[in-house]
């Protein structure tokens, strides 16, 4: 679970969205989001969305993805629906924490990678040669 919060904050930081400082803040936002629509409905809508997208791919990547989506649907039906609690589970603050690096709201500095020029290939004397 700790990984999920760290990744969420990392993505939010890159997208210039709010970064939540505590686990309780994260759960408060999740609880607010599921007041009008349950977490189960969000998960099913997401599965339907990616199923529609991958059905348009009539190649091996689409067929492989549909198998994985069907597996995710089975997990949703057999496990998540019976264990769903709409984020009412309380995680004690003293057992979970977010590392200070994930709490900064400053954008991550990106470095430009210098790429060397592509070698020039040419036909010299009937053979390919590097110039």
Residue range 126-131: mean pLDDT, rounded: 66
Which 3 state secondary structure label does DSSP give 38? coil
Query: How confident is the model over 78-126, as pLDDT tens digits?
Result: 888 787 777 776 666 555 455 555 556 565 565 666 666 666 667 677 6
- The residues facing 128 across adjacent strands are 123
Please enumerate, as own/partner, the contacts of 38-41 that have beta carbons within 8 Å and a separation of 24 or more.
38/84, 38/86, 39/84, 39/86, 39/87, 40/76, 40/80, 40/81, 40/84
Whether the model pTM is above 0.75: no
Write the pLDDT tens digit of every residue in 42-84. Answer: 889 999 999 988 888 778 888 888 889 999 999 988 888 787 7
């Amino acid at each position: 679970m700790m990984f999920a919060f760290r990744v969420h904050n990392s993505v939010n930081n890159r997208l210039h969205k709010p970064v939540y400082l505590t686990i309780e803040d994260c759960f408060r936002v999740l609880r607010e989001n599921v007041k009008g629509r349950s977490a189960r409905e969000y998960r099913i809508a997401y599965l339907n969305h990616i199923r529609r997208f991958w059905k348009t791919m009539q190649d091996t990547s689409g067929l492989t993805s549909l198998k994985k989506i069907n597996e995710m649907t089975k997990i949703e039906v057999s496990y998540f629906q019976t264990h769903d609690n709409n984020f009412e589970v309380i995680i004690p603050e003293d057992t979970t924490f977010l590392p200070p690096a994930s709490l900064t709201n400053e954008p991550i500095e990106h470095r430009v990678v210098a790429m060397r020029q592509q070698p020039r290939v040419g036909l010299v004397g009937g053979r390919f040669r590097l110039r």
